[in-house]
Structure 1
């Protein structure tokens, strides 16, 4: 498993990058032991809301197989509205790896970063489970209007997302092992 930690369009965050790199290595070990599944190759990127929207839209478009520039621009605008309030996001990639985006504006300290990192890594572990990535691809393709999914499939996807979120929130206590007093 390969772990890459970097920044996107945020100069001057060297100490935060080093801290995140250290925490990511520890968090991967902790989450791998506590959550069923296998950890994919990871790329963790620290960025601001605009960079988060840009990277999330590009990764989602790549996952859905969308090449149309207008559709990508629309997806980026929608992602920007969402990114202002989001702390982090995990996105599976077509090559089997995972992209984790962390919004530095939402993390004033190490404790908040640790909680978000653990939460997103739990989602990365969930990507290795049966039919999870296929479900995400189907919903993403539906969102880009490439291939419609039935109402039943949409409801199934919503239930699965809700269940995955409950699991991820339930595992946030693991952040205490990274930074004492970090769990929400």
Structure 2
């Protein structure tokens, strides 16, 4: 697992150090609880603009294009997406500043998404949807609706697993 800071100032050193220490533990905890693997994962801690840059670069590499997306990622605590080697998790540093408990919950949540990305046809479905978002293909309305329902199910599952963060903070203490 590669863990790094991207376009971070020194004021986020504590958050980056915490992610470096706890991300491997969070991944193992999620794998043990779910009985599934997170696969190959990169974790970046970044500022908002840096997060957008990382997501754009990952999507363009997966799709083999220089196209820009039809949308901008919404503000969030973190983003998980496909990368050429597996999953890229980008943690937004600013909303986590000084709140390591929230950072633990976010790590658990995003590692659940990494597990979800490795299930069955999830990756190929995500590539189809990314192609649509980047103007490289069109999806039927029914497929878009089904994808949105799957995203909602994935979010509910990830939110339900955030309870594991209390075990994570005890393991680090």
Superposition deviation, residue 58 in structure 1: 1.4
Aligned Cα root-mean-square deviation (Å): 1.6
Do structure 1's residue 5 and structure 2's residue 3 form an aligned pair? yes
Do structure 1's residue 166 and structure 2's residue 156 form an aligned pair? yes
Q: In the alignment, which residue of structure 1 is the partner of 2:93? A: 104
130, 135, 156: which one aligns with 1:140: 130
1:61-100 alignment, distance < 5 Å: 61-67=60-66, 71-72=67-68, 75=69, 78-79=72-73, 82=74, 85-95=75-85, 97-100=86-89
Following superposition, which runs of at least 4 residues in structure 1 exceed 6 angstroms of deviation?
A: none
Structure with bigger RCO (C-alpha 8 Å, 6+ apart): 2
TM-score (norm 1): 0.85
Q: Distance in 2 between matches of 1:5 and 1:157?
A: 29
Give 5+ residue unaligned stretches, structure 2.
none
What is the number of residues matched between the two proteins? 168
Give 5+ residue unaligned stretches, structure 1.
none
- Contact 2:71–2:133 at 8 Å: present in 1 too? no
TM-score (norm 2): 0.90
For the residue of structure 2 that corresponds to 1:179, the secondary structure is: helix
